[in-house]
Amino acid sequence: MYGVSSDPKDRMGFLLLSTLTAVLLAAHAALPQQVSSKSFSTQTAASYAGFDRNVYPGDAALPELRKHFDFVGYWLTDPPGESKNTWVGKRGILLRQGFGFVVVANGRLDKEIQRSAKQGKPPAALARQDAAAAVTAARREGFPAHTILFLDQEEGGRLLDEQAAYLLAWTEAVAASDYLPGVYASGEPVPDGNGPDGRPVTITTIQDVRARVAAGHLHEIAIWVTLDACPPAPGCVLAPPSPGMSGVFNATAWQYAQSPRRKSKTQACGKTYASDGNCDTPAPARFDVDLSSASTSDPSHGR
């Protein structure tokens, strides 16, 4: 145990040092404390977990799923590759279980847009038809005004002209209704030729969409980014990462895990997935799902 010397000079020095230390500590406490941008983005904002899948999991599974998830992807149309929509009529029971929503309508592949154009219906006309169907479905399902309806843009990279015409006509048609437009699209950088300096450049679908919206002075579009590459995605984990960690500014939601996983993009987090490559929910309600995070428990404001 350390003591204080009995020598008066030593005691005076100790008292001066103690006083100076106290003053310095008080001054430090009065200074504003800095927080790194990393800790701010990952620790100060709450993140909520959600799942989506093409096939409704069944009423009986909802209580168990609600233990792990705050919101669900709710299809207004037949999901990709499906011939029917099993989510129809399920908003009420999901609400009673406490789920929020990310409301989504299936978009069109480029080959479908081109086929429609050859048959006499241009991309914008096809988009307005599909948007009207999505709006009608949203009203039938009881979603309130100002719910965000997301268009599922499955194909990534820079949009082809007909894809852009379809997507922007769809979002503008939704914006003209009592709902708000959103787009589910890729945040993965892909090659996009060379820049002015001759060096290779990349682009994401979201960058392309936002640039077209700005150039056309169109309605703002909410973004549900899909990016499962590890990093930045953590893999098939239930702890939802902050949407900001996706690298997409102001994303409404981030789909960070998919079923099945893309092996070439998820090597660093492959062990978080099931042996069959899917992202499974915890037992006993075993379902292969896609996982998303959001800064709110109701990303579409669909309650």
Averaged pLDDT, 68-78: 98
Q: Distance between CA 148 and CA 175 in Å, rounded?
A: 10
What's the confidence (pLDDT) of residue 17? 34
What's the confidence (pLDDT) of residue 45? 62
pLDDT exceeds 60 at position 239: yes
Among 8-22, 47-61, 274-288, name the most confident range.
47-61
CATH topology of domain 45-294: TIM Barrel (3.20.20)
What's the confidence (pLDDT) of residue 12? 35
What's the confidence (pLDDT) of residue 273? 97
What's the confidence (pLDDT) of residue 285? 83
pLDDT exceeds 90 at position 64: yes
Instruction: Out of 38-52, 74-88, 230-244, pick the least confident.
Output: 38-52
pLDDT tens string 5-15: 334 333 333 33
pLDDT tens string 113-122: 999 999 999 9
Averaged pLDDT, 197-208: 96
pLDDT exceeds 80 at position 279: yes
Averaged pLDDT, 154-173: 97
pLDDT tier, 46 (very low <50, low <70, confident <90, very high otherwise) = confident
pLDDT exceeds 50 at position 19: no
Averaged pLDDT, 73-101: 97
pTM over 0.95: no
Among 31-45, 166-180, 275-289, name the most confident range.
166-180
Average pLDDT, the chain: 87
CA 224 to each of CA 36, 86, 87, 206, 288: distance values in angstroms, whole numbers, following the listed order: 26, 22, 20, 9, 20
